[in-house]
């Protein structure tokens, strides 16, 4: 259900008034809202799981693991550490400014806007909203119109469980998003693609509003000659085909040492069968492509490839089904290597060694995630030192995003800013510098006129 364009302006104004009244600043209010969001997730689970299943065929176990549980666990961390995070921090005071007391005070920014994508529609909306609440802000959440049933479910549950004076979910499509962006917010948090990210930045610039952009990119997997092929294949396949490949940190392509290419492809074929059976279309554990437009885009990539379909390749448009697919013989200039795939297609490229793999990655835009499978620590260090990415998984994929102590965010074209754990609290906070001095003593040496003696004293103190 659309919120309606006419309702946006008064809703934002109401949240601004709520923030100015100080409702959201007390830690008790923040804790109460975070616990209410946990109840929303637990008691609203059947409604949310059903909506995600309807929107994109998301299996219940997968949705619970990647959408609901991760938000609930992050809120546990927020509740456990909120008081410590919010406590003023002491800062050192140089001798020339003594006596005095310097602190950094964490203040909420004000009214935050969170714009979420469709691929993890609960997780990627409610987790940044929770971080905004944790920091003491009012917040507007805008779910994606591409998962309409989930959008409506979240909006209904938010009205039922959260304080509507301070927390609002606006439904609708691009028109509603554009209307929201016309208004002044104190911070904007956007997750999605770079094209829309630029639009968000342009709109934010009109009000000099700070933005956090969680974008994406082609997250590579580097498989060294000494990698455990069985484990690598299993973990690559799980990370790639989770949510039918519609994950911003999914392995996008693999650079494998030429000696292991055949073994890796064979293992990937075996793993896909063990995960989803001989016909993944019948598996209750395999999701669907979100809509026909994305389905056609992915099939177009398959049709344009110069390589060979080594695994999968089947598709059914009426069901928006594309099988878990592995491509070999790929050329670096193939269409499938140009942009983020965001689907269950995995290109494999062979390399002569990690030096070649590192140079390949370093020559391309900085990705959101990078994965390396190797036994030797020296090989891992070589990859880490020669590349840049938002995050890294060593002998694993995707799971780095579930570690609350690790900031999650991109670098360069894959995003700016980060959240999760304390970093989320910091993202939605202003670190205000406060310096306090007693009125006595008030030595005249710091005031003009400056004599030679004063100059000598000040020089010694500085």
Q: CA 373 to CA 393: how far, in whole Å?
A: 9
Which phi and psi angles does 47 have, rounded to 5°? -65, -45
The candidate with the shortest Cα–Cα distance to 28, out of 107, 114, 86, is 86
For the record, the structure tokens of 111 come out as: 């009214």
Report CA torsion sign: 301, 297, 177, 125: negative
Query: Is residue 154 within 8 Å of residue 116, measured between CB atoms?
Result: no
Query: What Å distances lie between residue 183 and 113, 172, 215, CA to CA?
Result: 10, 16, 23
Query: Is residue 306 within 8 Å of residue 265, measured between CB atoms?
Result: no
For the record, the structure tokens of 183 come out as: 């208004």
Q: CA 152 to CA 135: how far, in whole Å?
A: 26
Measured at the CA of 219, the angle between CA 217 and CA 224, to 5 degrees, comes to 160
Does residue 317 have a cis bond before it (omega within 30 degrees)? no
As a whole number of Å, the CA-based R_g of the chain is 25
* Active-site residue flag, 248: yes
Q: Which of 45, 171, 248, 261 is catalytic?
A: 248
Q: CA 145 to CA 215: how far, in whole Å?
A: 18
With a CB cutoff of 8 Å and minimum separation 6, the contacts of 387 are 358, 361, 362, 370
Residue 293 CB-density burial (10 A; 0-12 exposed, 13-18 middle, 19+ buried): exposed
Other C-beta atoms within 10 Å of 28: how many? 7
Q: Which residue has the tokens 């003491």?
A: 136
With a CB cutoff of 8 Å and minimum separation 6, the contacts of 189 are 112, 113, 114, 115, 128, 132, 211, 212, 214, 417, 419, 427, 428
For the record, the structure tokens of 62 come out as: 């997968």
Q: Which of 45, 74, 214, 261 is catalytic?
A: 214
* Active-site residue flag, 175: no
Catalytic residues, which ones?
214, 248
């Amino acid at each position: 259900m659309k919120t309606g364009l006419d309702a946006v302006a008064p809703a934002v104004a109401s949240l601004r008034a709520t923030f100015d009244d100080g409702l959201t600043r007390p830690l008790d209010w923040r804790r109460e809202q975070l616990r209410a969001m946990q109840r929303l997730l637990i008691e609203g689970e059947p409604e949310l799981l059903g909506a995600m299943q309807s929107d994109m065929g998301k299996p219940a176990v997968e949705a619970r693991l990647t959408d609901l549980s991760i938000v609930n666990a992050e809120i546990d961390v927020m509740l456990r550490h909120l008081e410590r995070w919010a406590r003023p921090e002491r800062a050192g005071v140089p001798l020339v400014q003594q006596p005095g007391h310097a602190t950094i005070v964490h203040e909420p920014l004000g009214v935050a806007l969170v714009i979420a994508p469709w691929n993890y529609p609960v997780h990627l909306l409610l987790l940044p909203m929770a971080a905004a609440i944790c920091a003491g802000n009012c917040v507007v959440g805008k779910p994606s119109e591409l998962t309409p049933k989930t959008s409506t479910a979240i909006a209904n549950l938010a009205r039922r469980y959260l304080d509507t004076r301070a927390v609002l979910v606006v439904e609708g499509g691009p028109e509603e998003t554009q209307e929201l962006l016309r208004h002044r917010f104190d911070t904007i948090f956007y997750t999605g693609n770079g094209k829309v990210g630029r639009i968000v930045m342009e709109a934010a610039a009109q009000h000099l509003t700070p933005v956090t952009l969680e974008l994406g990119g082609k997250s590579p997997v580097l498989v060294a000659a000494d990698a455990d092929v069985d484990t690598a294949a299993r973990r690559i396949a799980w990370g790639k085909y989770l949510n039918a490949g519609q994950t911003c940190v999914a392995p996008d392509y693999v650079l494998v040492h030429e000696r292991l290419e055949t073994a890796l492809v064979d293992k990937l074929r075996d793993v896909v069968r063990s995960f989803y059976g001989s016909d993944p279309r019948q598996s209750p554990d395999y999701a669907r492509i979100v809509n026909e437009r994305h389905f056609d885009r992915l099939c177009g990539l398959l049709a344009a490839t110069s390589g060979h379909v080594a695994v999968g390749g089947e598709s059914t448009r009426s069901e928006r089904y594309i099988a878990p697919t592995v491509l070999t013989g790929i050329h670096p200039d193939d269409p499938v290597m140009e942009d983020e795939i965001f689907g269950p297609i995995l290109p494999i490229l062979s390399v002569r060694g990690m030096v070649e793999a590192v140079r390949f990655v370093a020559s391309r835009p900085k990705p959101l995630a990078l994965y390396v499978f190797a036994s030797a620590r020296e090989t891992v260090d070589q990859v880490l030192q020669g590349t840049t990415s938002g995050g890294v998984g060593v002998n694993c994929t995707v799971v780095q995003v579930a570690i609350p102590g690790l900031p999650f965010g991109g670098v360069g074209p894959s995003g700016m800013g980060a959240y999760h754990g304390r970093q989320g609290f910091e993202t939605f906070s202003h670190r205000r510098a406060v310096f306090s001095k007693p009125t006595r003593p008030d030595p005249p040496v710091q005031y003009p006129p400056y004599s030679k003696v004063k100059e000598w004293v000040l020089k010694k103190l500085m």
